[in-house]
Chain A
Amino acid sequence: MTDAIMSSVTAPPSAPLGRRGPLGSVLVHAGLIAASIAMLYPLLWMISASVRPEDEIFASTSLWPSSIDVASYLRGWFGLDVSFGRFFWNSLVVAVLTVIGNVVACSLAAYAFARLRFAGRNFWFAIMLGTLMIPYHVTLIPQYVLFLNLGWVNTFLPLVVPKFLASDAFFIFLMVQFFRGIPRELDEAAMMDGCGPWRIYWKIMVPLSLPVLATAAIFSFIWTWDDFFGPLIYLNDMNTYTIQLGLRTFVDSSSTSDWGGLFAMSTLSLVPVFFFFLFFQRLLIEGIATTGMKR
């Protein structure tokens, strides 16, 4: 089923109802192009607003600035007591650590579920799937109390340490699905040659599952980069703010005065996600099509 969907996603499009006539085809393209423009217009307008002279931002609905002015970027970058460079750096640190934690911890658990035989495996697998359904709000407050007592508030630890304990169980599920597709003969041959589970994991599973590990890494990065709730709760000192918190503070402090700076920083905050979209679109789309992720 999964493989079938995977291959159908990448296969050339079929034409189940036959080709449309030329008129139908033109109408469909006209509709799709109009929808595309409507979808992208707000984004493009924001980018264009970020390079407009300040007095022109609200005067124009066009996408083409009369002149390019990067003053908004400079104003925005230094618009708060702590510069946006700091916020970007903090976000990068949290995101990179999260990626490492998710990839390592989830692939270890996924290998156990997909390949190793041990008592209680199906039980734990069912439990793991069950945790996917639980809204995080249920564990939120005791976790906060725990991290508060550990003195971890205003550090990145509450955001990062759970990932090293495979708290994003979704990625375990994603990896189990992939590991099950790797031919068992490879493990068996390695076992015959005297390889233990660790060597099989490291020498066979990891190298053969780079696509799924990359998918998990990219989604981890994007979700962490965009995460607002976790940082909002755990980070109160502006020096520890991530980019999302920085933007929120900027909105509150300057909502009526400096839209140019705000749009400039908003645009910059989208750049890393856009970069991943541009270069790894296929992995992202396959990831969604095969597992039904919500974003």
Chain B
Amino acid sequence: MAAVQDSAVVVGGGVQARPAAQGRWASIWAKHGAGYMFLLPWLIGFFGLTLGPAIASLYLSFTSFDLIRAPEWVGTANYVRIATADPKFAAAMQVTFLYVVLSVPFKLSFALLVAILLDRGVRGLTVYRAIFYLPSLLGGSVAIAVLWRQLFAGDGLINSLLAQFGIEGPSWISHPNYAIWTLVVLSVWQFGSPMIIFLAGLRQIPTDMYEAASLDGASKFRQFYKITLPLLTPVIFFNAVVQTIDAFKAFTPAFIISGGTGGPINSTLFYTLYLYQEAFGNFRMGYASALAWILVLIIALFTAFSFLTSRYWVHYDD
């Protein structure tokens, strides 16, 4: 009787076990399957277009590869050459850092200044905001780079304007000392989107802080340095990181203004332009992959450095 009961239990258990196993898979699927179904396109893209290629490019950076023959392992030769024997790399680094160091602070200062002027209940705010934002939207196009090439040419608009004051300007785009400045001006011209972010940040500052400061007799300048600027540091930090990374990656304006050469005398040879020349001009795909990884390293180091130093100057109120 007991045995029968036992076997019944066993049989019963066995009978139950199969649906339970199926049920477990079914319930796992019911619980997690839908999520992965919705995520599927992104997952395919992540493995096929991001992770896979990133690993492949790390491998290629240790090879010599011209697209025709199979990649040939060369060890660290690409990196050694970049570090020690490539004057164009050195030039590209110099130009890119100069561009970052000049364009980002000018652009952000201008964006902040205009945002502060606009924030204080100026009439026609939306009109001004629209006008200042328009260049940000158009600035990445070839048309604007073409326009810039004309503006700063020897017989361009800027020199025509200067001539009315009796000043004879040089051909800005073909002078190695000035060419980079035309690109900096183009970047500053697009100050609209960081300005909008600053405006949103300024609106977050409670007005009663200013009222209290006014009652205590703090001047407008003092209010700016003691209230506005500290409370805005998170937004300044954010804008600085985003704009710097963007500046490291700039390509189109330098390509169009220099006709793809990075000239005159490599003075507009942005890092990405050099990478493009190596990859798609000289078909040194292995070398260009090494250049790409060095760019990643630079951006990663910069970002890490910004976050580490942000503790000392970015004000977070929790």
Point out residues on A near B: beta carbons under 8 Å.
4-5, 8-9, 11, 13-20, 28-29, 31-32, 35-36, 39-40, 42-43, 45-46, 58, 61, 105-106, 108-109, 111-113, 116-119, 121, 124, 127-128, 131, 133-135, 137-146, 148, 162, 164-167, 169, 172, 196-198, 201, 222-223, 225-226, 228-229, 232-233, 244, 247-248, 251-252, 255, 259, 262-263, 265-267, 269-270, 273-274, 277, 281, 284-285, 288-290, 292-295
Contacts of B226 in A (CB 8 A): none
How near does chain A come to B28, taking the closest CB pair, in angstroms? 9
What residues of chain B have their CB less than 8 Å away from a CB belonging to chain A?
A: 31-36, 38-46, 48-50, 52-54, 56-57, 60, 67, 114, 117-123, 125, 128-144, 146-151, 155, 157, 160-161, 164, 189-190, 193, 196-197, 199-200, 202-205, 207, 210, 214, 220, 223, 238-239, 242-243, 245-246, 248-249, 251-252, 255-256, 259, 272, 275-276, 279-280, 285, 288-289, 291-293, 295-296, 299, 303
Which of the residues B132, B196, B259 comes within 8 Å of A289, measured between beta carbons?
Answer: B196
Which one of A116, A127, A273 lies within 8 Å of B141 (CB-CB)? A273
Say whether B134 contacts A277, CB under 8 Å: yes
Distance from A55 Cβ to chain B, minimum over Cβ atoms (Å): 13
Chain B residues lying within 8 Å of A223, measured Cβ to Cβ, are 140
Count: A-B pairs, CB below 8 Å: 286
Knowing A15-B120, A20-B120, A118-B31 are in contact, say whether A248-B49 is a contact too (CB < 8 A). Answer: no
Complex alpha-carbon distance, A244 and B138, angstroms: 12
Most buried by A among B34, B132, B291: B34
Interface residues of chain B: helix, strand, loop or mixed (majority)? helix
Decide: A247 and B35 in contact? CB cutoff 8 A: no
Contact B141 A244 (CB under 8 A): yes
| A251 CB to nearest chain B CB (Å) | 6
Whether B42 contacts A109 by the Cβ 8 Å rule is yes
Residues A269 and B142 in contact in the complex (CB < 8 Å), given A8-B203, A17-B210, A294-B193? yes
Q: Select which of A42, A109, A196, A247 is within 8 A of B39 by beta carbon.
A: A109
> 3 shortest A-B CB distances, which residue pairs?
A165-B45, A118-B35, A266-B143
Residue of B with least CB distance to A293? B193
